[in-house]
Structure 1
Amino acid sequence: MKLQKEMILLNQTDKTPEDVIKKSGQLLVDAGCVDSAYVDAMIERENKVSTYMGNFIAIPHGTDEAKEYVKKSGISIVQVPEGIDFSTEDDDEEKLATVIFGIAGVNNEHLDILQQIAVFCSDVQNVVKLADANSEDEVIALLEEVAE
């Protein structure tokens, strides 16, 4: 799966997880990866359990029931340099995300996608580079190993 410039939004100013999830989901819709119902399933999943993964990233994706809305695997990336707080009232600390990866996977391809993103982003310096990237090409260059 190849990362595409049109699937990346830089310097966004969203304030809530729902807003940025809608935006990342719409990128997947526009690219023909999912039906629009998948975006609702992404929000539903977030309402059940946070998709914040640590190290300033969140990886929103649909519920298991939403697999029928996935046409092809894809990754969208939304950069929010100021960050979005993904914490809930049950959390003791702020869960700030500056890079949001929207994902959709055919069959279980999304598990591979999740693993690749997690490995890359386990180094917080990689996330800082993504949050500071000034172009879609720079983001793609940083994530080339994720796309392979």
Structure 2
Amino acid sequence: MSTAHNGPRAEDIGKPPLRPTDPAGPPDLTPEPADDASPEDIESDIARTRRELANTVSELSRKLDPTAQAQHQVEDIASRVRGQAEHAGQAAQSSISRARDAATGEDGRPSPTAWITLGAGVGILAGLVAIGALRAR
């Protein structure tokens, strides 16, 4: 059975605190130099701190670059538009299939309803043409 432990561990008491290298990344487990550290240890720590700082600045510059942000937004929008277009295409294909199924019988030939609808459409079109011809005189 494990229990949550919120306080310092006994083996960590008296040790210097650990510093993270990147707020978003894993912590650097290298402790601060001790009070009695040699000049070489201190110089090494300063060099490491400078590298960490340079990495952090580079990462922040990359994240805050307006061109990179704009490119990311363009890619995001293009991806959404592609998804919507694909969905619209699938919906149109489904509608065409349903219309074809409604207009044909089981044998694949046009159903009587399709013939009646076609005839009514032709009749209405002929009537409109005739009315237009009579008005043109």
TM-score bracket for this pair, using the shorter chain length: under 0.3
User: Per residue, is there more helix in 1 or in 2?
Assistant: 2
User: Per residue, is there more strand in 1 or in 2?
Assistant: 1
TM-score for the superposition, normalised by structure 2? 0.23
Of structures 1 and 2, the larger Rg is shown by 2
TM-score for the superposition, normalised by structure 1? 0.21
The structure showing larger relative contact order (alpha-carbon pairs under 8 Å, at least 6 residues apart) is: 1
